[in-house]
Copies of this chain bind each other. A is one copy, B any other.
Amino acid sequence: MLDTYQNLILPDLRQMVAEGDSHGVTEFCRVVHPVVMGEMLEQLSDAEVWQVLDHAELDQRVEIFENINLRRQTELVETLDSGRLSELLENMSSDDRVDLLTRMPSGRREDVLRMIAQAERNDIRRLLSYDENSAGSLMTTEYASLPADITVRDALNRLREQAPNSETIYYVYILGDHRCLEGLVTLRELILARPDAVVSEIMQRDVVRLYVTDQRENVAQELARYDLIAMPIVDAENRLVGIVTHDDALDVVQEEATEDAYLQSAVQPLDDLYQDSPMLTILWKRGVWLLFLSFVALLTAKVLDHYRIATESGHLADQAPPDLTTLILLFLPLVMASGGNAGSQSATLFIRMLALSPTDSLNSPPVVSRRVQMRELAIATMLGSALATLDFLVAWLVLDKSPAEAGAIATTVFAVVLFGTCAGTAFPLLFRRLGMDPALMSNPLIAALVDVLGVVFFYEIAMFLL
């Protein structure tokens, strides 16, 4: 429901920026939810974004900036002077700023790090050092911690001091010597305990924890398994080095599901959302697998030819040259695989895009969706051309087909790739509009349609060209 709201207020914000109404912008940033602000700013130009953020108070500026997607964040800081950038980074939460710094060119990163205070800089450098698939890469170091030997009253007072610098104060970690993790006490337990009870009496000692080197999927799985708000992450000496909060775990689950769906349909995972990724990136991440799979399919043609010659040599030995039926037989698997694979890729990309988009925002601005559909068509044209060229050359030069025959194969491949992509794009959108699940048997259904239409295309094109 905030999405329609967002469409209503974005023009107001644009107008304020255009008129230079700095007081209005400041007030706007204070009142509107930072998540909504972040999403709105993604739709403005770099200059407009900075005009808005410069007029927001520091706290709001940081929170709004954190809610802009990482790709836009990276673009936005490219032109920002190092002084303002370091101020922003110093105030960002420790996990978000490391994500941004990881994306920046290393020269720029070093420039900016030099301007950041020593303690913060050490924290950043340590977080930057963890493998991107490890628990360490998800952590924030802003957790609340207490010693075990103080009273509940003191604990609550100390917690109030730590609150501004803690991502959550609902889980408080009890640390011993050398910051070793000894226990956990929840804010709920603190609130319910007698004020003069000692923390060590009420704390949980058997705390679920993971190692900084554990896989990031594990963090999400274990957090889900134990229904935790945050998972403590320790090093090999059981020293607490950070926590992963429930919201970051939820993001991991969604990212992993997307990655698996992509991989399963032979799309190399994208760093950003599909709709935010540059076209060349998508082209590369799909094309590389399609080309590989085409080589395997061409192998099928080789195998088919081997068997055909072996079986026909008896009764049809001298009936050369091979007829249309043979050509179709040899290359139909290639045609079907090309169309089916390209279609599955499109379907998967659209299904995951729909699964991750807030429902309202997709219904309301169909313009975005049309732009994405058009881009998909352009991608299909380019992928189809690349595959057709490859198949033409292999059929002509390697498999000794005539240029006309190779041309028929290539044209058919181009046609089915285009058709498969259109079907892969249309089915999820259609099913969704009908109130059904966009994922409904998309891959086999597209493959089946490509199979039937592939035959029709192949014969019609071959009869026309030969």
Contacts and interface: CB of A to CB of B under 8 A. Distances in A.
Nearest to A227: B247
Interface string A214-231: 010110111111111100
Contact of A224 (B251, B256, B297, B333): B251
Interface in A196-219: 206, 208-210, 215, 217-218
A250 interface: yes
Interface string A244-262: 0011011101101101110
A264 B296 contact: no
A448 B347 CA distance: 19
A19 to B, nearest CB: 25
Nearest to A444: B266
A440 B187 contact: no
A93 to B, nearest CB: 11
Contact of A359 (B221, B348, B441): B221
A2 interface: yes
A304 to B, nearest CB: 5
Given A246-B229, A264-B261, A443-B344, A312 B316 contact: no
Given A451-B297, A451-B333, A215 B359 contact: yes
Contacts of A250: 220, 223-224, 246, 249-250, 253
A324 B326 CA distance: 11
A384 interface: no
Contacts of A224: 247, 250-251, 254
**Copy count, this protein chain:** 2
Interface stretch (A109-117, A118-126, A274-282, A334-342): A334-342
Interface string A316-338: 10000001111011001100110
B325 A315 contact: no
A357, A358, A437, most chain B CB atoms within 10 A: A437
A195 to B, nearest CB: 12
Given A191-B187, A250-B253, A447-B340, A260 B163 contact: no
Contacts of A303: 452, 455-456
Contact of A33 (B208, B310, B328): B208
B312 A191 contact: no
Interface of A: 1-2, 31, 33, 35, 156, 159-160, 163, 169-170, 187-188, 191-192, 206, 208-210, 215, 217-218, 220-229, 246-247, 249-251, 253-254, 256-257, 259-261, 263-266, 289, 293, 296-297, 299-300, 303-304, 307-308, 310-312, 315-316, 323-326, 328-329, 332-333, 336-337, 340-341, 344, 347-348, 351, 355-359, 437-445, 447-449, 451-452, 455-456, 459, 463
Given A163-B191, A246-B250, A459 B307 contact: yes
A229 B226 contact: no
9 contacts: A160-B192, A215-B359, A221-B357, A260-B439, A263-B442, A303-B455, A311-B324, A311-B459, A332-B333
Contacts of A326: 325
A58 B227 CA distance: 21
A344 to B, nearest CB: 7
Contact of A218 (B247, B249, B359, B452): B359
Contact of A355 (B256, B293, B300): B256
Contact of A264 (B159, B340, B439): B439
A168 B403 CA distance: 72
Contacts of A325: 308, 311-312, 325-326, 329
Given A33-B208, A308-B325, 16 more contacts: A35-B225, A35-B226, A170-B170, A187-B188, A218-B359, A257-B355, A261-B264, A263-B440, A264-B443, A265-B444, A293-B444, A300-B451, A300-B455, A304-B328, A336-B336, A337-B444
A263 B348 CA distance: 11
A445 B437 CA distance: 26
Nearest to A357: B221
